[in-house]
Every structure is written in C-alpha cells, then in structure tokens.
Amino acid sequence: MSLTPKEIVQEDCKRVTAGQTSLLEPLRDERILITGGTGFMGTWLSEIITYLNDNFDFNAHITLLSSRAGSFQNRVPHIASRQDVDLIERDIRNLTDIPSNISWIIHAAANPDNRIHASDPLRTIDVIVNGTRAVLEYAARLPDVKKILNISSGQVYGAQPWEIPGIPETFIGGLDCSAFNASYPESKRMAETICSVYRNQQRLPLVNARPFAFIGPYQYLDRPWAINNFIRDGLIGGPIRILGDGQTVRSYMYPSDMAWWLLNILVQGSVGANYNVGSPEAVTLQELAEKISGQFPKSPQIITGLSHDTLLRSSKFVPDTRLAEKKLGLKITIDLDMAIRRTILWNQMVPLKKD
C-alpha cells in the first residue's frame, strides 16, 4: 500500500529522531517562536516538534509568525489546526503584541528566491536587516530567553573556490556588492553583524546557522533552482533542461535532516558560533539530471545548453559540515538518491499550490 503525503513526512520524522530525542530535552514544556514560520523551513521545524509532542510527550508550544499565515491553513491544515500551534500573521518588522512567554526563538523570516532579490532588492534588504533587528529588540525584552537561532545563509561566504571541496565556517570570501542579486547575501551578512552586536551588548544567547541547498516535500518546484526545475521537467515527461554545460556543482539536503540539524543547533550550539547546514555530497548538474531522469519509468531526455558565456558562470556551492558533525554529533540520514525519490513521490501526490 502506498504512503500518503502525511505518512511520508511522519516516516521522515521517525527516521531522523530515532534514538536521538534526548538531545532536544531542553525544549520539553517550552514555548518556541519561529519567524517565517509558514515557509519551507518553518513547516518542517513544526513537523519535527509536533512529532515529538505526539510521540514523546514533549508538550512544546509553537508560535508561527508569518506575513502569509492565512494560506498556511489551506496548505498544511494538519499543523495549522493543532492546539499546540499558534499562527500570527504579522510583518517581521512589526512585532507588537507578540507573547512574552517565549523562551526559544528561530528567526527564519526571509525569502531565498533570487527572482525576488533581483526584482525588489530594497524590500529584501529591509525585511532581512530591519526584521532581524526587530526580532532581537523583542528578544531583549523577554524575561526568560534561553537561545536564539538566526538563520543566515551559506551565500555569506561569497564564491566558493573550485579547489575547496566544501566551504568551512572559517572561510572568509568576498561578495560582489554591485551584482544584481547581491541584496540577499549582503543583507544576511549584515544580519549576522547585528546578531553579534546584540550578543555582545545585550548579552543575548545567539547562534547562527548557514543553510545551503535543500530538496524535499513542501518546497515548490517552480522555484528558480536547478533540482526543482529538473524534477518538475521529469514529472511532466521532460525534457530535463540544463542551462549551461552541466558542470556547476551543488549539494542538496533533505528537509527532515535540515530541521533536525537546526533544532540541535538551537539547543546544543555554542553561543556566538556559526554552523553550516547542508549536505557535503557534491554533484554536478549533469549528474543530478541523470539521477532524476533515472527515477522515471520512461527516462526523460536531458538537454544541455552550452555556450562560452554560461561556461564562465559555472560555480560550486557545497558546505563543509564537519563542525556540526563533530561538535553536535549530527549526520545525514537521507542521501541524495533517496531525497530525489521521496520528493518525486510527494509531488506526484501533492501538487503544491503557490503561496
């Protein structure tokens, strides 16, 4: 008998938490605020926490803050309707009337879609920079804040040198501040600086996570990222189109691993530290397209568009995750092949509506 979409997610939650729930004991009976709480990350964080509530009596209460809270009730009703979940529709830059009994904060309010960064860069900057400051001003007034996790981005490192297998947290790169999509990584850098200021001056217990790339349930296939587009192309019968020569290198983490890592960084992470969140399993886009094509009964054709200009734009974006693995004991539980299979299965059953 085939799994339902909810059962797929429950399986993923069971796999990633197996024998590890004691690591998150500090969240038992606690109240957690997740900004950007109805997005891809917030949804998966909610799935893991509510799974712990249902199966291990964690009794954690989640407050999801989002500017699109209303649509969440239609997209993920089994989370939105729960008694242990509160939905607040609010702009991140305006945090009046937010509960004061919050003890843990995950700040994940930002749109990673680079089409938005290019079309409305000033809003991108405003939301990330001023939104982060608003969250920290709110946190500074809380009577019992225990830890704040700021969701930054792996893009703060700038371009990855080809000779480096994975970017470590100690890497200091440069960004082209005049690039058309610079608003997002530059804003994330500034947000980390703001966090550092509040950590030093207000003594807020802050830790940063730097996410890389992900694929899995709840992620829209119309997003401008190669793996999403490849899976979408495969689902409609192909061809799978590669823009460029296919030698760009990426890695992709499945979202149950992502959410588990983020929660462990929140609870176990050292104040002031930065942790990469992603998969170290590198793959070229050509290899990725072949993996995806092979998942369908009739393998779709792969079309590669090669030109001198696109060749020059080939890039690499892969994290070094040894810090999180060694210091926090984190690991990947779903490899890329399984991630692709489960994402295809999910999207065959759940054609997600646009938010």
Q: Where are the domains of the chain?
A: 5-217+253-280+317-333
User: Does residue 273 register a pLDDT over 80?
Assistant: yes
pTM across the whole model: 0.95
Taking Cα atoms as reference points, which of 39, 47, 83 lies closest to residue 65?
Answer: 39
Element (H, E) at 86: strand 85-89
Cβ atoms 350, 5 nearer than 8 A: yes
Q: What is the CATH number of domain 5-217+253-280+317-333?
A: 3.40.50.720
In this prediction, residue 310 has a pLDDT band, given cuts at 50, 70 and 90, of: very low
Dihedral (CA of 140, 141, 145, 151) sign? negative
- pLDDT-based confidence at residue 351 (cuts at 50, 70, 90): low
pLDDT at 311: 46
Q: How confident is the model at residue 3 (pLDDT cuts 50, 70, 90)?
A: confident
Model pLDDT for residues 89-146, shown as the tens digit of each residue: 999 998 888 889 999 999 999 988 888 888 889 999 999 999 999 999 999 999 999 9
Burial of 100 (0-12, 13-18, 19+ CB in 10 A): exposed
Tokens linked to 67: 């500017």
Q: What backbone torsions phi and psi does residue 77 show, to the nearest 5 degrees? A: -65, -30
